[in-house]
Structure 1
Amino acid sequence: MTGNLSDAARRLMERRLAGLSAPVGKERDPRPERPPLAPAQRRLWFIHQLTQGSLAYNVPTAYRLRGPLDTEALERAVHLVVRRHEVLRTCYPADEQGEPFQRVLDTDAGPRTPVARHDLTSAADPVAEALRIAGSEADHRFRLDAEGPLRLWLATLGPDDHVLGIVVHHIAFDRESLAVLAGELSAAYRAEAAAGTPELPPLDAQYADFALWQSGLTGTQEYEKELGYWRETLGRLAPVLELPADHQRPKEPTYRAGEAAIHIDAETAERLRALSTERGASLFMTCLAAFQGLLSRYTAETALAVGCPVNGRAKVAYEGLIGFFANSLPIGVHLDDDPAFAAMVDRARESLLSAHAHQNVPFDRIVRELSPVRDLSRNPLVQVWFDLDAGDTGTAADLLALPGVRSEYFTEGRVRTRFDAEMHLGERADGTITGRLLYAQDLFAAETANGLCEHYANFLAAVAADPGLRLSRVPLFSARQRSTLLDDWSVGSG
């Protein structure tokens, strides 16, 4: 794969840059000396304190860069991007009352962000050594009260062969941030390598401004109305969704995750798209409805919630910012009447639209309002996650676009999850839907996770062919699997 951005990624970057150039309507409000954390950040900060710096919220990314790389220009580009985004050089100490606040560690003219250099050209196996470094960096325990949330390293494997590694704490980063970081770092590198000036517009806001804005929503009439919606909607759902597990749940999770692949063929995917159009829904809604149905069959729960992401960049001025804007929406569903799948799609559509209309209430505030039993062994309110990305890879990350350099992902294979299970899907250019299930290895064996993916694919194929199927009648096994099971049963009972 080349280092060029895809057309979709380029359009996204152009939209962001155009949006950042738009006026915000007024001068930036003055900040207090100690800006508060955004509500979502506060939750991560307190979890960080409780778990002595859990690694679950580290976000590692690494790029293999093949070609004539100007390493000095790359480091200058990194420094420029970090200078633009205060959140990448912000720490979170506590005041005299134990309340966390934001402190920018240096000014725009401050010291450069260090990029740790590793010369691996004389190593017996440079790739293996780079993988070791990637794993070690991914396991860095951030001191959020005293250091910035960003670490970078650059390994030289050989002539024109490098690995750039980035580790960011989730308190300062979300999925959309990776696209912003990759786009700006690429633009800054192109300019630095050519001794020019990056054509990046000035930012109309910083993350601290968003945190102040969101904190200011609390207590308003509209905010209280939205909070009431969540109280009413989630109060009637099962407080815990317990998937059948292979291992006993530990008191404190390790967050180690396994991966299971899923593939939906183009014919089934096209039928699902047609069904979505017919029901006035998106493909996301239709696939979510099927996932909710599968979870209901697995757990025997008829009133359950699944977590879904929403991009909280609610203003134009926030669109081009790096930071933790993402919010978690608990999407509830009631299936006690054994509905036909078409009706399930309608319910998923209404639930998602209503949830998005009430997204200003942060997830941590919803948790506090409902006051579930506190349990460090599981995520509150939602234990299972669902996402479908419009990109053609099933992941949200963007590659770097550096002139003359081929870019691809480089991973040490270390995967983590904060949930019991996460389903991540993506639409591909060939019309198929592919993705992966991340599952907690503390709870599930690989065979169980693979089985769930097979059942989900079978569920989707069945309802795509017949949307009138009622939930209890949707087959989870393919015809081939049913035949195998019957044959095995016959042999075993003979």
Structure 2
Amino acid sequence: QDEVVGLAGELRSYLSLSLPEHMVPAAFVVLDALPLTPNGKVDRRALPAPADEAYARGVEEAPVGEIETLLAGLWSDLLGVERIGRRDSFFTLGGHSLLAVRLISRIRQELGIELTLAKLFAQPVLFDMAGVIAELVEKSGRQLLPAIEPVDRGGVLPLSFAQQRLWFLGQLDGMSASYHIPLALNLRGPLHRAALIRSLDTLWERHEGLRSVFVAQGGEPHVELLAAETGFGLVEHDLRGVDQAQTRLTELCREASDAPFDFARGPLVRGQLIRLGDEEHVLTLTQHHIISDGWSIEVFLRELRTLYGAFLRDGEDPLPALQIQYPDYAVWQREWISGERQALQARYWSSELADAPALLALPTDRSRPAQQSFAGAHVDIWLDPELSRQLKVLSLRYGTTLFMTILAAWASLLSRLSGQEDIVIGTPVANRARTEVEGLIGFFVNTLALRVDLSESQDLETLLAQVRSKVVSGQDHQDLPFEQVVEIVQPARRLDHTPLFQVMFSWENEDVVAATKLDGLSVTPLETNYEVAKFDLDLALREAGDEIIGVLVYSSALFDEST
């Protein structure tokens, strides 16, 4: 046993002499023998999970100096790893693209320097990353970045760029349900109704984003805020003893999802509590995308859980006060994305998407309608543990994240099906590069248009390197709102398809809804049979244990399920 202690670090150091960083194993486990199946193959399921000492974390080399120590603290907070060594790699310890963006945000805030995502991927080891940062500090000095400050609520509050685009689309399509974000939760157990209502009222008061409405004067919209004291306005229904209660439940959920919002009058969030039995309820929440996004749903549910737990015990609001609100961010965004910063990012996207194909011509079951239909459906996607493991190994071998590897595969498939070698795929980015906005509810998410060259001359290694470069460069230029990118590229506008791309790919870190918990209650997502397809195809995947799972949402105006 004495010989095993420190063995992981020695093996890692030895292998580092002959292998690139991303191919050096993260952990080393000593076994008397490999577990085998009856067929004599390695029984991977029987392999033990590595214990703490199995990880080659370089703890024998503690961080040295101010920058390494600061970096180690940031890594520990983001990765959930207690001990960080100066020879550790950010990605080996579990880092991925989203965490890398958040790390850059924290480095920017702490040190006042701009570290690009490309440099972070090129130097993922703590010691090397600290060296890059030290050079940047020496070269340009620590610069105090403009803070997001509260603005006077007595003046005119502008919309963010993303909100402005959705407001304009709302005027065109008559406020259809295509930009609604519905959520339905089945609650089983003794629900404390008063605690739930108080929690929702507190969230309503806490987040100005939820209370925003959009009023036009002279054709130009501005933001106004509904009163905090009006409360959330939860609507309640009691279906106990009602004939065909399940049918009525389906109708209420559909009405909640599809009923139009009024931008000018609001509110743009609504909820209902449907009682099915003494200890069974359904809670529906519907928000318009103009005030929310996927990250915001996570914030909403996380804070709802905290508040409900406190109010269940007659406690006070335990959440720390918000220093800024979404309207403050909207004002800051218009100042930040201007001048040379805007011009630099505009030049990048103009060059990157110049002469990109306007349409991905996939074979469809029906002709494309003259105006885009948002009717959709989905098929479940499941990649078994062995295939998922092989994808992870492949990613380690070529220094890509799982997102990058599967994006390359998705682009390859789309190229084969369409016969086109020039493929543009959209992908969402959280666009919360400032730590101040991580706890806000609002419409932050941005979309990147990633262009992949699938010419036959490329081998796998070249393709993965290209996709990695495209993802990293795109995320380094994610500040420019997608609506401005469209205006810069100026693709031919048509009503029958979305501009720049018609296929999406997103990587989700966890099933936020499935992870929701409320004290004393069993909370599960309620399955609904209505969907919206904003694109021809939208592939969303995530890791779940040792598998990769997700859904492929498709336009039912174009495709049959079998296709």
TM (norm. structure 2) is 0.73
Residue aligned with 1:415, SS: coil
CA distance in 2, matches of 1:276, 1:26: 37
CA distance in 1, matches of 2:408, 2:223: 40
Residue aligned with 1:426, SS: strand
Spell out the pairing of 1:298-313 with structure 2 (5 A cutoff): 298-313=417-432
Contact 1:172–1:324 (8 Å) recurs in 2: yes
CA displacement, residues 335-388 of structure 1 (integer Å, 9 cap, x when unaligned): 224422222111111000000000010000000111112222211111100012
Which of 516, 520, 535 is the aligned partner of 1:404?
A: 520
Q: 1:396 to 1:36 in 2, by over 3 A?
A: same
Structure of greater Rg: 2
Which of 288, 292, 300 is the aligned partner of 1:169?
A: 288
* Structure-1 residue corresponding to 2:30: none
Corresponding position: 1:274 with 2:274: no
Which of 458, 482, 493 is the aligned partner of 1:374?
A: 493
> How many angstroms does 1:29 deviate by?
4.1
Q: 1:27 to 1:428 in 2, by over 3 A?
A: closer
Residue aligned with 2:373, SS: coil
CA distance in 2, matches of 1:328, 1:141: 25
> How many angstroms does 1:71 deviate by?
1.0
Q: 1:350 to 1:26 in 2, by over 3 A?
A: closer
Corresponding position: 1:104 with 2:225: yes
Amino acid at match of 1:421: L
* Structure-1 residue corresponding to 2:159: 37
Corresponding position: 1:433 with 2:542: no
Which of 314, 326, 331 is the aligned partner of 2:433?
A: 314
Residue aligned with 1:297, SS: helix
* Structure-1 residue corresponding to 2:416: 297
Corresponding position: 1:325 with 2:440: no
* Structure-2 residue corresponding to 1:491: none
Which of 331, 343, 357 is the aligned partner of 1:224?
A: 343
TM (norm. structure 1) is 0.83
CA displacement, residues 73-99 of structure 1 (integer Å, 9 cap, x when unaligned): 101100101111111111111122x11
CA distance in 1, matches of 2:260, 2:374: 14
> How many angstroms does 1:128 deviate by?
2.8
> How many angstroms does 1:218 deviate by?
3.7
> How many angstroms does 1:219 deviate by?
3.0
Spell out the pairing of 1:20-419 with structure 2 (5 A cutoff): 27-30=149-152, 33-96=155-218, 98-106=219-227, 108=228, 110-391=229-510, 395-397=511-513, 399-419=515-535
Contact 2:149–2:324 (8 Å) recurs in 1: no
CA displacement, residues 41-94 of structure 1 (integer Å, 9 cap, x when unaligned): 111111111000111001100110000001121011001011111111111111
* Structure-2 residue corresponding to 1:477: none
Please report the RMSD computed on the Cα atoms of aligned residues, expressed in angstroms. Answer: 2.2
Residue aligned with 2:479, SS: coil
Q: 1:61 to 1:70 in 2, by over 3 A?
A: same
Higher RCO (CA 8 Å, separation ≥ 6 residues): 1
- Once the two structures are aligned, what percentage of the paired residues are identical? 33
Structure 1 residue ranges (4+ consecutive) displaced by more than 3 angstroms after TM superposition: 22-27, 29-32, 395-400
Contact 2:422–2:451 (8 Å) recurs in 1: yes
Amino acid at match of 2:193: T
Contact 1:63–1:409 (8 Å) recurs in 2: yes
CA distance in 2, matches of 1:266, 1:399: 21
> How many angstroms does 1:304 deviate by?
1.7
Amino acid at match of 1:427: E
CA distance in 1, matches of 2:193, 2:275: 10
Contact 2:148–2:332 (8 Å) recurs in 1: no
CA distance in 2, matches of 1:435, 1:229: 32
* Structure-2 residue corresponding to 1:446: 561
Structure 1 segments unaligned to the other structure (5+ residues): 1-10, 449-494
Q: 1:360 to 1:349 in 2, by over 3 A?
A: same
* Structure-1 residue corresponding to 2:69: none
Amino acid at match of 2:544: R
Contact 2:148–2:328 (8 Å) recurs in 1: no
CA distance in 1, matches of 2:466, 2:267: 43
CA distance in 2, matches of 1:427, 1:26: 34
Contact 1:132–1:412 (8 Å) recurs in 2: no
